[in-house]
Structure 1
């Protein structure tokens, strides 16, 4: 069986796309700085295994101890309470990478902020649905039966949006409380 060169090239391209580092990066890496960068981004510890796998192809061995020391330093920045709030408000869930002494608080703060983010997205989605239904209602070719159905759907969406807004108000109060607690303890926001 003959394999075409284009299939081989496609497979090689696919393999290289899965690599965390290319040959140049493997050969010139400052493993401590790379660890800091990965830690600051909240990357899981097993990313080092992926770096090792990428660099093994080029006969480069990562400096594991320097990488892990750098990652630990980077995690100190990532695991600040303010970052938990920021990540959640941007729709990013906590990856479970912080040390045990701050993990529970980070998880709680991130979850509260993420809940607010998700509620806002649900309200936006409901608003879009309402706009579509209201537009359908005003179209000339909408039958009377359709109009009755659309009005009921609009009423239901209005009720849903009211519930979501009420939930959001409560969630924002909870988030404010957690942020105040973090400020009171002198933790950076």
Structure 2
């Protein structure tokens, strides 16, 4: 269910749509909306978008109910598992929504570990790209000195990849 909500919100963000339609504004269970927003790590300030969109149709969101739901939802989001997931996807901004929540220390620990895992994976991918580029140059060059230098660079990158693969395997063990 949370995945569906996340995908819906992602689509809305991508296409620049209003946060809520007229019908949604009129029938919204604001506590449930807040719960869903909190559970996916959306900032509480998102309520301002609802206020703006719903004002166009004469509806005022129930801020107290929204906050009550959001408070419950954000507790579901600010967990070690979600910290790890957000980090491994490179989303460091999740730190801000959990900062004042109980369990923040554990969330941020796993967020940081996940971000390190993400950066290591990015470096592995960048090195793979560079190795393909160097191999292509090696395949086309005819000069012995250039070939020697390219082989040396490839060997250095191969050692670096070995080190990074070991590191990422160790980092993977940090997952909650």
Is TM more than 0.5 here? Answer: yes
Name structure 2 gaps, 5 residues minimum: 1-14
Q: Deviations over 1:118-171 (max 9, x none)?
A: 2122112211221232133123xx231543443343234234324433543553
The whole-number CA distance in structure 2 between the counterparts of 1:64 and 1:101 is: 22
Are 1:84 and 2:83 counterparts?
yes
Name the residue aligned to 1:6: none
Could you tell me which residue of structure 2 aligns to residue 57 of structure 1?
A: 56
Is residue 157 of structure 1 aligned with residue 157 of structure 2? yes
Match for residue 44 of structure 1? 43
In structure 2, what is the equivalent of residue 121 of structure 1? Answer: 122
Residues 75 and 101, structure 2, Cα contact 8 Å, conserved in 1: no
- Distance (whole Å) between structure 2 residues aligned to residue 27 and residue 153 of structure 1: 64
> Counterpart in 1 of 2:22?
23
Measure, in 1, the Cα distance between the counterparts of 2:149 and 2:21: 58
* Ranges in structure 1 where 5+ consecutive residues have no aligned partner: 1-15, 180-189
Alignment RMSD: 2.4
Aligned to 2:139: 138
How far residue 69 of structure 1 moved from its aligned partner, in angstroms, is 0.8
Q: 2:147 is paired with a residue of what secondary structure? A: helix
Q: Which stretch of the first structure deviates more once superposed, 53-62 or 83-92? A: 83-92
Normalised by the size of structure 1, how large is the TM-score? Answer: 0.72
Provide the C-alpha distance between the structure 2 equivalents of 1:71 and 1:42, rounded to a whole number of angstroms. Answer: 9
Question: Is the CA contact 2:37–2:73 (under 8 Å) kept in the aligned structure 1?
Answer: yes
CA 1:100–1:33 in 2, change beyond 3 Å: closer, same or farther? closer
**CA displacement 1:23-65 (0-9 Å, x = unmatched):** 2222222211111110011011111111111112222111111
